[in-house]
């Protein structure tokens, strides 16, 4: 509330007043557009009457800015500078500045002027004048603008979150938002400078395409889905309409990659365009990377070369069911042939005496960097299998039966090598109890033919039959994506192949 006549507002009163006023004037105008109507940006202009302290000399601006900020009489609002040019064009041209004041300070009501302002007036260092602050369309956030445009019943789930692939924003709008899809897309395009294209999915991923591609419509911007992305220090180029990519999985990619150690072998059964494989290759991890989608395979090959990991990452275009055994056999055969990667790189410079110029007498040239050679022999066994096809990957685990038939000598206790860790992504019920864990273990048991149970697996020891389930992300109100990690049971790995 405003100060009583003849009194000076306290700091707490001023703060409360400012918070209350900001709740109103920092809201955009209500611009309810009918379904299918075009976005009229001019309707979002809002003018706010404020007071401003007109500073007589630039020498005292810093002093009064600090003093008014301390007394909480200065306007403090995100993305609005409190220092502005004098509204009088002639004085503004001369460089005169004003400090915008808290809305509770009224230019025409001296009783609302605090001690700092009154002191400045007495010293003839400032005056209090009216100031009209203009907030235009560019000021309002995407959420502000959507709440202004959309009817109140749609405010609970404003489509502010979306998947991003390079310059493309990928929406998955609910039916209730479809009448406003063009306006929503225009706002997203306006408020995100890096976005050049906004699309909306018109079917369910995987419902019509085994490669998880989808039908889409361009809602705003260019019809261009050839994108470039960077993730985990790797560059990816691809046609977003032909391959699968989800930027919301970056944390999960990073989490899984953190398990891999240099010199190990990873079999990426559903590799896509390489979000696991390429960063692993940069870690000096051998990767057999496979994807059944010819377009993904094409991009994978190109991105392997682009990121210079061809020594460690090998691309394949096979059905995942057969590739699990194919990769196991090929890795063993290649290791027995002695395949390895040798990397030669410059070592650290040694200290040397040198002068500023080579022509100076007594100049000693800096010695060349010594070369360091790193050798990575290909191991005979695979340390990790990654299966990132959540809709059906669990159904593939039956292919692990017998992958190391008659090869017990490759593993502990004969050697120090443990059986592979398997990371299987899947969908299950969204719940806070153990129902998703139990469901996932029951499905693994069905396809592995070995009893699996929830457990906190130790990634360095053999947790026989134990499954660690990590909640990756929610994908629907009652559905989540999980990653089930388990060490391949010996009874499965060493069984007779079908």
The tokens describing 81, both together, are 């500078």
8 A C-beta contact, residue 170 and residue 199: yes
The tokens describing 192, both together, are 């995100």
For residue 120, which phi and psi values (nearest 5 degrees)? -65, -35
How far apart are the C-alpha atoms of 134 and 29, rounded to whole Å? 12
Q: Where are the beta strands (DSSP E) in 124-263?
A: 126-135, 163-165, 168-171, 197-201, 216-221, 226-231, 234-239
Q: 């991890």: which residue's tokens?
A: 285
Q: 């699996």: which residue's tokens?
A: 452
How far apart are the C-alpha atoms of 26 and 197, rounded to whole Å? 29
How far apart are the C-alpha atoms of 148 and 43, rounded to whole Å? 10
Which residues are annotated as part of the binding site? 253, 319-320, 388
8 A C-beta contact, residue 214 and residue 242: no
Give the DSSP H/E element, type plus range, for residue 145.
helix 142-149
Q: Quick one: how far is CA 137 from the chain centroid?
A: 27
Nearest Cα to Cα of residue 221 among 196, 241, 192: 196
How far apart are the C-alpha atoms of 366 and 353, rounded to whole Å? 7
For residue 214, list its beta bridge partners: none
How far apart are the C-alpha atoms of 38 and 58, rounded to whole Å? 46
Q: Where are the beta strands (DSSP E) in 101-153?
A: 126-135
Q: What is the DSSP letter of 42?
A: G
Q: What is the DSSP letter of 415?
A: S
Nearest Cα to Cα of residue 408 among 397, 417, 400, 399: 417
Residues sharing a CB contact under 8 Å with residue 18, sequence separation 6 or more, in sequence order: 72, 76, 102, 103, 104
How far apart are the C-alpha atoms of 190 and 40, rounded to whole Å? 12
DSSP three-state, residue 440: helix
Which residues are annotated as part of the binding site for S-adenosyl-L-methionine? 253, 319-320, 388
Q: Where are the beta strands (DSSP E) in 180-279?
A: 197-201, 216-221, 226-231, 234-239, 265-268
How far apart are the C-alpha atoms of 41 and 188, rounded to whole Å? 13
Integer-rounded Cα radius of gyration of the chain: 32
8 A C-beta contact, residue 164 and residue 227: no
Please compute, for residue 90, the number of CA atoms within 13 A of its CA located in the half-sphere on the CB side.
0
């Amino acid at each position: 509330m405003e100060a009583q006549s003849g009194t000076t507002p306290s700091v707490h009163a001023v703060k409360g007043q400012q918070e209350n006023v900001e709740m109103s004037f920092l809201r955009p105008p209500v611009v309810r557009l009918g379904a299918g109507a075009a976005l009229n940006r001019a309707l979002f202009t809002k003018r706010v009457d404020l007071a401003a302290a007109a500073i007589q000399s630039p020498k005292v601006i810093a002093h009064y800015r600090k003093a008014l900020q301390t007394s909480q009489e200065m306007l403090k609002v995100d993305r609005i500078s409190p220092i502005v040019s004098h509204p009088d064009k002639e004085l503004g041209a001369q460089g005169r500045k004003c400090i915008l004041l808290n809305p509770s300070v009224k230019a025409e009501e001296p009783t609302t002027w605090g001690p700092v302002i009154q002191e400045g007036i007495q010293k003839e260092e400032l005056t209090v004048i009216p100031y009209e602050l203009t907030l235009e369309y560019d000021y309002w956030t995407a959420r502000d603008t959507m709440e202004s445009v959309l009817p109140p019943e749609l405010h609970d789930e404003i489509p502010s979150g979306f998947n991003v692939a390079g310059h493309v924003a990928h929406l998955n709008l609910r039916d209730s938002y479809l009448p406003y899809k063009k306006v929503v897309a225009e706002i997203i395009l306006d408020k995100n400078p890096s976005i050049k294209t906004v699309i909306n999915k018109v079917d369910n991923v995987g419902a019509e395409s085994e490669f998880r591609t989808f039908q889409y419509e361009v809602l705003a911007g260019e019809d261009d889905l050839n994108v470039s992305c960077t993730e985990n220090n790797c560059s990816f180029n691809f046609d977003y309409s032909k391959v699968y990519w989800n930027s919301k999985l970056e944390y999960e990619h990073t989490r899984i990659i953190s398990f891999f150690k240099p010199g190990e072998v990873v079999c990426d059964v559903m590799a896509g365009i390489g979000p696991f494989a390429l960063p692993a290759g940069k870690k000096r991890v051998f990767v057999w990377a496979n994807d059944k989608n010819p377009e993904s395979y094409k991009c994978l090959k190109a991105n392997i070369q682009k990121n210079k990991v061809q020594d460690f990452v090998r691309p394949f275009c096979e059905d995942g069911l057969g590739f699990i055994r194919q990769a196991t056999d090929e890795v063993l055969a290649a290791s027995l042939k002695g395949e390895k990667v040798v990397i030669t790189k410059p070592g650290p410079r040694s200290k040397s005496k040198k002068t500023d110029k080579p022509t100076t007498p007594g100049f000693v040239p800096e010695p060349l960097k010594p070369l360091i050679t790193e050798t990575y022999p290909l191991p005979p066994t695979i340390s990790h299998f990654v299966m990132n096809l959540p809709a059906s990957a669990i159904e593939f685990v039956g292919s692990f039966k017998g992958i190391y038939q008659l090869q017990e000598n490759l593993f502990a206790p004969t050697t120090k090598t443990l059986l592979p860790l398997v990371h299987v992504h899947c969908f299950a019920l969204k719940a806070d109890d153990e129902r998703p864990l139990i469901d996932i273990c029951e499905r693994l048991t069905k396809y592995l033919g070995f009893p699996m149970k929830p457990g906190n697996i130790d990634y360095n020891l053999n947790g026989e039959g134990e499954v660690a389930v990590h909640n990756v992300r929610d994908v629907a109100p009652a559905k989540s994506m999980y990653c089930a990690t388990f060490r391949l049971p010996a009874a499965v790995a060493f069984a007779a192949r079908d």
